[in-house]
Amino acid sequence: MLDPGAVPSAADTEAPPARIPSWLAVLIRRKPVERLVMEGGQGEGGTLRRSLSMWQLTMISIGATLGTGIFVVLGEAVPKAGPAVTLAFVLAGLTALFSALSYAELAGTIPVAGSSYSYAYATLGEFIAWICGWCLLLEYGVSVAAVAVGWGDYLNELLDGTLGVTLPAALSAPPGEGGVFNLPALIVVVLAMLFLLGGARESARANTIMVFVKFASLALFCAVGFLGFKSGNFSDFMPLGRESVGIAGAVLFFSYIGFDAASTAGEEAKNPQRDLPRAIMLSLVIVTTLYVLVSVVAIGAWDWRKFEGSEASLAAIMHDVTGTSVWGTVLAAGAVVSIASVVLTVLYGQTRILFAMSRDGLMPKVFARVHPKTKTPRVNTLIVSLVCGALAAAVPLGELVNATSIGTLFAFCLVNVAVVVLRYTRKDMPRSFKVPLGPLFPVLGFIACAYSMWNLDLVTWKWFGGWMAFGLVVYFLYGIRRSKLATAEK
């Protein structure tokens, strides 16, 4: 067994093929799957605690996926497809399914922290793994900040509906967007940080409670909305043509991002080989079912033409059906809890990805330091939370938020490639779950994600390019020499 305190030897590195340039050999050096698994949970001065059950892992994925999207997405998607938006949700879910299958296979085969970063390290080499990890840092970090900003908006709506007061603009928006400091955004990040500092199990329990509040909020909407259900609203199912379903599906695909959050908990799961694939697939099924059910009730209760420009369509539907605004306040309360859950789970994923990169030597050692009492990367959590909190409270995110989408899709593409590579390079490796139909589904997943990336606007690509350029500078000035694989070769 590998001694976690020993300096790795060159034998612990998968050597690149012979007769290739030395500079290329450095970039494609791989970390063997066995070594990744053996090092699972090991940090600087301690190990992470395996305490998460399959149910808690499922709730982590649902918590990261089921957030503000369903509360506002109908106002964007319904005008593009009409009643056929219900079919668009299914289409988007199937698109996400291809990548989810790949995540499930790799999570069961390589049950470690780091998600797609670790999978790329074992299959595609260190350089691609760094790029993937750098994309994930963008995705998770900016997502936390962006979602935290949205939490302040819903908090104001809740305060207005219950107490008749709202926070002044100076304290509820960052500079450049009408405010001085976004206090609510900082508060929700700090609250999530406090849960994470208490331990993974305690955080998972809090997240499970918040996920059930989400379920209750959406169930309430369905119950109230069904009172005003009119089957005639579905009489012209595709008023904008068949192609509109695909257009709306592309918009809705981003409502499924987050199902991979459970894969960042590979080193804190009780039985990761069995539970991680189940949690990933179950969370996607539950989220898709909820999306379709809510969209059917919403279209049945409201003529699809009313959705144009309506960001708070669910609250508006409940107001129309009941004739009172009290239900909008109830939904705002549900949204406040929903967004807090997203902040908690995404912040958790960010810290565990940094933990894995730090343990590999690609990030400073401080991010892999494990607290002896809580068995969590406490300093890592403090640093990440303060950076994300400051970003949310004091920096206008603007177009940078859209760059999280391209970072996520790029990571999805790499996971689909990694499945195929591992199938051919390690055919006899035990797998607790296998993507059906061989390479077909991973190829379809890659194509779907690449197509979605292609359709993103030029500004998003510019932000992404700038972030990646910065990442390359960090890698070649720091990571390439401090990598554990680099020290093993000396």
Q: For the domain that residue 311 is a member of, what is the CATH number? A: 1.20.1740.10
The reported pLDDT for the residue numbered 385 is 92
Q: Which amino acid is at 347?
A: L
The reported pLDDT for the residue numbered 166 is 81
In a domain, 321, yes or no: yes
**What's the pLDDT tens digit per position in 447-469?**
988 888 887 778 888 888 888 89
In a domain, 418, yes or no: yes
In a domain, 2, yes or no: no
Averaged pLDDT, 417-435: 86
Residue 47: in which H helix or E strand, if any? strand 46-47
Averaged pLDDT, 423-448: 86
In a domain, 1, yes or no: no
User: Does residue 177 contact residue 372 with C-beta atoms inside 8 Å?
Assistant: no
Over 80: is that where the pLDDT of 169 sits?
no
State how far the Cα of 386 lies from the Cα of 71, in Å rounded to an integer.
Answer: 28
Task: Work out the percent of the chain whose per-residue pLDDT is above 90.
Answer: 12
Q: From 152, 178, 185, select the one nearest 167 (Cα to Cα).
A: 152
- Could you report how far apart the first and last alpha carbons of the chain are, in Å? 22
Over 90: is that where the pLDDT of 263 sits?
no
**Which domain does 143 fall in, by range?**
10-22+31-488
SS3 call for 375: coil
Find the DSSP H helices in 21-125: 22-27, 33-38, 54-65, 69-81, 85-109, 116-123
Averaged pLDDT, 241-250: 83
- Which residue spans within 300-431 are E strands per DSSP? none
The reported pLDDT for the residue numbered 293 is 92
Over 80: is that where the pLDDT of 150 sits?
no
User: Does residue 95 contact residue 249 with C-beta atoms inside 8 Å?
Assistant: yes
In a domain, 5, yes or no: no
In a domain, 323, yes or no: yes
In a domain, 4, yes or no: no
What's the pLDDT band for 417 if we cut at 50, 70, 90? very high
The reported pLDDT for the residue numbered 6 is 39
278 or 113, which is more confident: 278
**What's the pLDDT tens digit per position in 322-349?**
877 787 788 878 888 888 888 898 898 8
pTM of the model: 0.85
Number of domains in the chain: 1
Gyration radius of the chain over CA positions: 23
Over 90: is that where the pLDDT of 382 sits?
yes
Q: Considering the chain, what is the average pLDDT of its residues?
A: 82
State how far the Cα of 90 lies from the Cα of 94, in Å rounded to an integer.
Answer: 6
Task: Work out the percent of the chain whose per-residue pLDDT is above 70.
Answer: 88
Averaged pLDDT, 434-454: 87
Among 247-261, 272-286, 439-453, the minimum mean pLDDT is found in: 247-261
What's the pLDDT band for 3 if we cut at 50, 70, 90? very low
Backbone φ and ψ for 52, nearest 5 degrees, come out as: -95, 130
Averaged pLDDT, 339-364: 89
In a domain, 116, yes or no: yes
